[in-house]
Structure 1
C-alpha cells in the first residue's frame, strides 16, 4: 500500500488560542485507558469543552461557524507536557489534518508527523494575525503548502517553517515508518537472508 504524499492541506480552520497547551489538556488522562486509538476523538479537549454535566463551555472547537474545520491554529509551545501519543492521535481522529502554530513540543511534533499531520510554525505576529483572520472569515479556507513553505488565507500569504527532514518525509510519502516496513517485506527478507548472523 503506497503511503500518501502530503504536499498540501486545505480546509477550514479553527483558532485554539493560548500558550503552553499541554497534552493533558488536549486529552485528559482518564481517556488513555484504551487498547486502540480508535475512540480518542471524543476525549479531545474534553475538559476545556464541557462542564461536568456534559454541557458546553463554548470552546471554539464546538462553535457552529468552525464546524468541519480540518486545520487547527494554535499558540506557542503547543503539545508540551507528557509525551503521550494519544494527544496527536485524538486531534487526528477528530478530523484535523494540519496544525499551524508558533512552536511545538518536540515529542508532540514527532508523533504528529508520524500520523501524517504536519505541524508548521509561523512567527508570533503572523500566527496572531492568522487567528484574527480566521475569526473574521471562518468560511475561508486555509492552505498549508509544504512544498512552497507557505500558509495562505485568501490574499494573505505567510511564510512558514518546518524542519526539512519532517517536511520532506511528508512531501515524499516517507512519514509512516511502519507502513514502509510493511510495504518492503521482500527487501527486508532478502537483506536478512544475506546476513550470516540472522537465521
Structure 2
C-alpha cells in the first residue's frame, strides 16, 4: 500500500499540478524474498512476451519461466508463494541486462510497489522511478536479514519510507539509499512524466511555440 493521500508527503511537501500523480512518501505491506545476484530483465520478463501491444497482462508474465517446472506446472518460486506481497527484497545488481521497460511493468502489475536490495541496474532503476516504484539500496547483510525475516514471517508488516530512506520491520529501521532523482520525483508527485505533461499542456505548448525548430 502506497501512502499517497493528499499531503501524505508532509506539511512541507510541494503541491503537484494535479492529484492524478500522487506523491509517494512510503510503501507499507508484506514482503516477497527473491534471492540471487544479477537477476536480469530477461528472467524478470522473458523476451517472447515483449510482442504484446499493451502492458496489461505483464503481471502474469513476471518470472514466467522461473515460476514453472519442466512440465509447465507452478513451482515454489517466491512469486507463487507470496501472492499479495508488495515489497520485493532482492540482492545485488537486480534488473541488469536489457533496458526493457517491460520488466518493471511486470513487477508493478504483479503487485510490487517498492524494492529493497543491495544494488540495481541504472536503467532498470530509472524505469522503476517512472512507474512510481521506490527502490532502496541497503548493505548486503541488511538485504539478507530482510529476506530471512520475510521467509520466517511472511505476514509481517514492512514499510519502506522514501523520505527517511529506511525500511522498517520487526521494530527495526534499516537505513539505505533512494537515488536523489527518484526521491524528489516520488515525494513531489512528478514521477509520471506523461501525466505531469498532460496536466500542464498550456505550459508545454508555450515552450513548444517558443522553440525555433518546431513547426507552427
TM-score by length of 2: 0.87
Correspondence 1:90 to 2:103: no
Question: Whole-Å Cα distance in 1 between the matches of residues 94 and 208 of structure 2?
Answer: 41
TM alignment of 1:167-186, pairs within 5 A: 167-186=183-202
1:114 is paired with a residue whose SS is: helix
1:144-155 equivalence runs, <5 A: 144-155=160-171
Q: Gapped runs of 5+ residues in structure 2?
A: 1-17
CA deviation after TM superposition for structure 1 residue 88, in Å: 0.4
Instruction: Map Cα deviations across residues 53-98 of structure 1 (whole Å, 9 max, x no partner).
Output: 32122101111xx231011101100000111110000000111111
**How far did 1:187 drift?**
1.6
In the TM superposition, what whole-angstrom CA distance separates every residue of 1:106-133 from its partner, at most 9, and x where no partner exists? 0100001100001111100111111111
- Where does residue 207 of structure 2 map in the other structure? 191
In 2, distance between residues paired with 1:130 and 1:55? 29
Q: For residue 97 of structure 2, what is the aligned residue in structure 1?
A: 81
Shift, 1:42, TM fit:
1.1
1:99 equivalenced with 2:126 (yes/no):
no
Instruction: Kindly state the Cα deviation for residue 47 of structure 1 after the two structures are TM-superposed.
Output: 0.8
Is the helix fraction higher in 1 or 2? 1
1:135 aligns with 2:159: no
